[in-house]
Amino acid sequence: MKVCARCGVVKDATHFRKDSRYADGLGSWCIECHRERNSEWARENRKRLTEKSAAYRAQHREAARASNRKCKQANRDRYASNHQAWAASNKDKRRATWAAHKAAKLRATPKWADFSAIANVYRLAAEAEKLTGVRMHVDHIVPLQHQLVCGLHVAENLQILPGAFNEAKRNHWPLPPHLQLFIERPAPAKQEAFNV
Protein backbone atom coordinates (compact mmCIF):
# COMPACT_ATOMS: atom_id res chain seq x y z
CA MET A 1 0.00 0.00 0.00
CA LYS A 2 1.14 3.55 -0.72
CA VAL A 3 -0.19 7.11 -0.32
CA CYS A 4 -0.44 9.15 -3.52
CA ALA A 5 1.44 12.43 -3.07
CA ARG A 6 -1.09 14.28 -5.24
CA CYS A 7 -4.54 13.07 -4.16
CA GLY A 8 -3.51 11.79 -0.71
CA VAL A 9 -5.44 8.51 -1.08
CA VAL A 10 -3.94 5.25 0.16
CA LYS A 11 -3.86 2.81 -2.77
CA ASP A 12 -2.52 -0.60 -3.63
CA ALA A 13 0.98 -0.67 -5.21
CA THR A 14 -0.53 -1.77 -8.54
CA HIS A 15 -2.04 1.75 -8.86
CA PHE A 16 1.46 3.29 -9.18
CA ARG A 17 3.89 3.29 -12.09
CA LYS A 18 7.33 1.74 -11.69
CA ASP A 19 10.01 4.38 -11.16
CA SER A 20 13.57 3.45 -10.16
CA ARG A 21 14.26 6.97 -8.84
CA TYR A 22 12.27 6.18 -5.68
CA ALA A 23 13.38 3.87 -2.85
CA ASP A 24 10.32 1.63 -3.16
CA GLY A 25 10.60 1.51 -6.98
CA LEU A 26 7.20 3.21 -7.48
CA GLY A 27 6.30 6.74 -8.54
CA SER A 28 4.92 9.19 -6.00
CA TRP A 29 1.67 9.88 -7.91
CA CYS A 30 -0.94 7.22 -8.69
CA ILE A 31 -1.71 6.36 -12.33
CA GLU A 32 -5.05 8.22 -12.22
CA CYS A 33 -3.37 11.42 -10.97
CA HIS A 34 -0.71 11.15 -13.71
CA ARG A 35 -3.42 10.70 -16.32
CA GLU A 36 -5.36 13.68 -14.97
CA ARG A 37 -2.30 15.94 -14.95
CA ASN A 38 -1.26 14.85 -18.45
CA SER A 39 -4.74 15.72 -19.74
CA GLU A 40 -4.60 19.12 -18.04
CA TRP A 41 -1.17 19.79 -19.54
CA ALA A 42 -2.37 18.76 -23.01
CA ARG A 43 -5.34 21.14 -22.75
CA GLU A 44 -3.07 23.99 -21.60
CA ASN A 45 -0.61 23.34 -24.45
CA ARG A 46 -3.06 22.43 -27.24
CA LYS A 47 -1.61 24.91 -29.77
CA ARG A 48 1.98 23.81 -29.16
CA LEU A 49 1.06 20.10 -29.47
CA THR A 50 -0.94 20.71 -32.65
CA GLU A 51 1.97 22.56 -34.29
CA LYS A 52 4.45 19.87 -33.23
CA SER A 53 2.19 17.12 -34.56
CA ALA A 54 1.68 18.94 -37.89
CA ALA A 55 5.44 19.44 -38.28
CA TYR A 56 6.09 15.76 -37.63
CA ARG A 57 3.44 14.66 -40.13
CA ALA A 58 4.89 17.03 -42.76
CA GLN A 59 8.40 15.58 -42.31
CA HIS A 60 7.34 11.93 -42.03
CA ARG A 61 4.32 11.64 -44.35
CA GLU A 62 4.56 7.91 -45.05
CA ALA A 63 5.18 6.97 -41.41
CA ALA A 64 2.25 9.16 -40.30
CA ARG A 65 -0.05 7.59 -42.91
CA ALA A 66 1.01 4.08 -41.92
CA SER A 67 0.47 4.87 -38.25
CA ASN A 68 -2.95 6.36 -39.00
CA ARG A 69 -4.00 3.31 -41.06
CA LYS A 70 -2.79 0.94 -38.34
CA CYS A 71 -4.72 2.85 -35.66
CA LYS A 72 -7.90 2.89 -37.78
CA GLN A 73 -7.64 -0.85 -38.46
CA ALA A 74 -7.05 -1.69 -34.79
CA ASN A 75 -9.95 0.50 -33.62
CA ARG A 76 -12.40 0.04 -36.49
CA ASP A 77 -15.28 -1.14 -34.28
CA ARG A 78 -14.80 1.69 -31.78
CA TYR A 79 -14.71 4.30 -34.56
CA ALA A 80 -17.86 2.84 -36.12
CA SER A 81 -19.79 2.84 -32.84
CA ASN A 82 -18.59 6.39 -32.05
CA HIS A 83 -19.72 7.52 -35.51
CA GLN A 84 -23.13 5.88 -35.09
CA ALA A 85 -23.57 7.51 -31.68
CA TRP A 86 -22.55 10.90 -33.11
CA ALA A 87 -24.89 10.51 -36.10
CA ALA A 88 -27.80 9.56 -33.81
CA SER A 89 -27.28 12.63 -31.62
CA ASN A 90 -26.56 15.03 -34.52
CA LYS A 91 -29.36 14.23 -36.96
CA ASP A 92 -29.72 17.90 -37.88
CA LYS A 93 -26.07 18.09 -39.04
CA ARG A 94 -26.40 14.82 -40.96
CA ARG A 95 -29.52 16.13 -42.71
CA ALA A 96 -27.80 19.42 -43.58
CA THR A 97 -24.78 17.58 -45.03
CA TRP A 98 -27.00 15.25 -47.04
CA ALA A 99 -29.11 18.18 -48.31
CA ALA A 100 -25.96 20.03 -49.44
CA HIS A 101 -24.72 16.90 -51.25
CA LYS A 102 -28.11 16.38 -52.90
CA ALA A 103 -28.23 20.04 -54.01
CA ALA A 104 -24.71 19.79 -55.47
CA LYS A 105 -25.71 16.65 -57.35
CA LEU A 106 -28.82 18.39 -58.73
CA ARG A 107 -26.77 21.42 -59.85
CA ALA A 108 -24.26 19.08 -61.51
CA THR A 109 -26.92 17.08 -63.39
CA PRO A 110 -27.38 18.47 -66.92
CA LYS A 111 -30.76 18.31 -68.67
CA TRP A 112 -29.33 15.93 -71.26
CA ALA A 113 -28.14 13.35 -68.65
CA ASP A 114 -29.19 9.77 -69.35
CA PHE A 115 -31.01 8.91 -66.12
CA SER A 116 -31.47 5.25 -67.06
CA ALA A 117 -27.68 4.90 -67.55
CA ILE A 118 -27.08 6.55 -64.15
CA ALA A 119 -29.60 4.24 -62.49
CA ASN A 120 -27.93 1.26 -64.18
CA VAL A 121 -24.55 2.15 -62.61
CA TYR A 122 -26.17 2.27 -59.14
CA ARG A 123 -27.91 -1.05 -59.82
CA LEU A 124 -24.62 -2.66 -60.90
CA ALA A 125 -22.95 -1.36 -57.73
CA ALA A 126 -25.68 -2.97 -55.61
CA GLU A 127 -25.27 -6.26 -57.49
CA ALA A 128 -21.48 -6.14 -57.12
CA GLU A 129 -21.87 -5.58 -53.39
CA LYS A 130 -24.25 -8.53 -53.12
CA LEU A 131 -21.95 -10.83 -55.12
CA THR A 132 -18.65 -9.88 -53.50
CA GLY A 133 -19.80 -9.05 -49.97
CA VAL A 134 -17.67 -5.89 -50.19
CA ARG A 135 -19.33 -2.53 -49.52
CA MET A 136 -19.43 -0.72 -52.89
CA HIS A 137 -19.86 3.00 -53.65
CA VAL A 138 -20.74 4.83 -56.81
CA ASP A 139 -18.08 7.51 -57.06
CA HIS A 140 -17.77 10.64 -59.20
CA ILE A 141 -14.44 10.40 -61.03
CA VAL A 142 -14.24 14.20 -61.29
CA PRO A 143 -15.59 15.59 -57.99
CA LEU A 144 -18.86 17.52 -58.03
CA GLN A 145 -17.51 20.07 -55.56
CA HIS A 146 -13.90 21.20 -55.77
CA GLN A 147 -11.98 24.48 -55.98
CA LEU A 148 -10.46 23.59 -59.38
CA VAL A 149 -13.03 21.46 -61.19
CA CYS A 150 -16.74 20.68 -61.25
CA GLY A 151 -17.64 17.24 -62.51
CA LEU A 152 -21.08 16.35 -63.82
CA HIS A 153 -23.52 13.82 -62.43
CA VAL A 154 -23.63 11.72 -65.61
CA ALA A 155 -22.99 8.02 -66.21
CA GLU A 156 -19.63 8.76 -67.90
CA ASN A 157 -18.37 10.40 -64.70
CA LEU A 158 -19.39 7.51 -62.43
CA GLN A 159 -17.31 4.54 -61.33
CA ILE A 160 -17.96 1.69 -58.92
CA LEU A 161 -15.37 1.48 -56.13
CA PRO A 162 -15.03 -0.45 -52.89
CA GLY A 163 -16.28 1.84 -50.13
CA ALA A 164 -12.90 1.99 -48.38
CA PHE A 165 -11.17 3.26 -51.56
CA ASN A 166 -13.86 5.86 -52.18
CA GLU A 167 -13.60 7.11 -48.60
CA ALA A 168 -9.81 7.31 -48.95
CA LYS A 169 -10.15 9.20 -52.25
CA ARG A 170 -12.46 11.77 -50.63
CA ASN A 171 -12.64 14.95 -52.70
CA HIS A 172 -9.07 14.94 -54.03
CA TRP A 173 -8.32 16.14 -57.54
CA PRO A 174 -6.09 15.06 -59.10
CA LEU A 175 -5.63 11.92 -57.08
CA PRO A 176 -2.58 11.85 -54.79
CA PRO A 177 0.04 9.30 -55.90
CA HIS A 178 -0.54 6.94 -52.94
CA LEU A 179 -4.22 6.55 -53.95
CA GLN A 180 -3.51 6.05 -57.64
CA LEU A 181 -1.99 2.68 -56.71
CA PHE A 182 -5.41 1.50 -55.55
CA ILE A 183 -7.84 3.26 -57.84
CA GLU A 184 -7.87 2.81 -61.58
CA ARG A 185 -10.55 4.54 -63.57
CA PRO A 186 -12.52 1.63 -64.98
CA ALA A 187 -14.44 1.58 -68.22
CA PRO A 188 -18.16 2.14 -67.67
CA ALA A 189 -19.63 -0.91 -65.94
CA LYS A 190 -21.40 -3.42 -68.16
CA GLN A 191 -24.15 -5.82 -67.15
CA GLU A 192 -22.26 -8.86 -68.53
CA ALA A 193 -19.56 -8.41 -65.87
CA PHE A 194 -22.07 -9.30 -63.16
CA ASN A 195 -23.92 -12.13 -64.89
CA VAL A 196 -23.38 -15.39 -63.03
Q: Which residues contact 93 (CB under 8 A, 6 or more apart)?
A: none
Neighbours of 117 (CB within 10 A): 13
Q: Which residues contact 173 (CB under 8 A, 6 or more apart)?
A: 142, 143, 146, 148, 149
Q: Is residue 146 part of a domain?
A: yes
Q: How many domains does the chain divide into?
A: 2
Q: Is residue 39 part of a domain?
A: yes
Confidence at residue 170, expressed as pLDDT on a 0 to 100 scale: 75
Q: Is residue 32 part of a domain?
A: yes
Q: Is residue 27 part of a domain?
A: yes
Q: What is the pLDDT of residues 147-180, one digit of tens each?
A: 888 889 999 989 898 988 888 777 777 666 655 5
Confidence at residue 144, expressed as pLDDT on a 0 to 100 scale: 85
Chain mean position to CA 34:
30
Q: What is the pLDDT of residues 79-113, one digit of tens each?
A: 999 999 999 999 999 899 888 888 888 888 999 99
Report CA torsion sign: 122, 123, 124, 126: positive
Confidence at residue 183, expressed as pLDDT on a 0 to 100 scale: 46
The whole-angstrom separation of Cα 191 and Cα 119 is: 12
Confidence of residue 116 (pLDDT cuts 50, 70, 90): very high
Confidence at residue 99, expressed as pLDDT on a 0 to 100 scale: 87
The whole-angstrom separation of Cα 153 and Cα 106 is: 8
Instruction: Please give the residue range of the domain that contains residue 26.
Output: 2-44
Average pLDDT over residues 48-64: 93
The pTM assigned to this predicted structure is 0.51
